[in-house]
Amino acid sequence: MDKNNLKDIKWKGYLRKDKSKGVRNKVLIIYTVQCSEHVAKSIGAKFVGQDVDVVGFARHHSGSILDGIRIH
């Protein structure tokens, strides 16, 4: 895509009841403790092929919080 050519930009949108436009690009299911990982993955499995991702923490650790983020 040429970032200078706005005609190339495509995104999913919808028309609200009040006729304004809305955008729904991605749904994230986020678990914040490892013991809820299974539940989050079970919920995410119901949305295969859609813009739904499960994101959470791999384990407890003392490093940067970003080091522990997992994307499934």
Residue 59 maps to a domain = yes
Residue 62, domain extent? 25-71
Per-residue model confidence (pLDDT) at position 38? 93
DSSP assignment of 20-38: -EEE---EEEEESSGGGHH
Overall domain count for the chain = 1
Residue 13 maps to a domain = no
Global pTM reads: 0.51
- Of 31, 38, 27, whose CA–CA distance to 70 is shortest? 31
Q: Is the dihedral of CA 31, 36, 40, 43 positive or negative?
A: negative
Q: What angle do CA 55, 22, 26 make, to 5 degrees?
A: 15
Residue 29 maps to a domain = yes
Question: pLDDT tens for residues 5-54?
Answer: 666 766 677 888 998 888 777 888 999 888 889 999 999 999 998 889 89
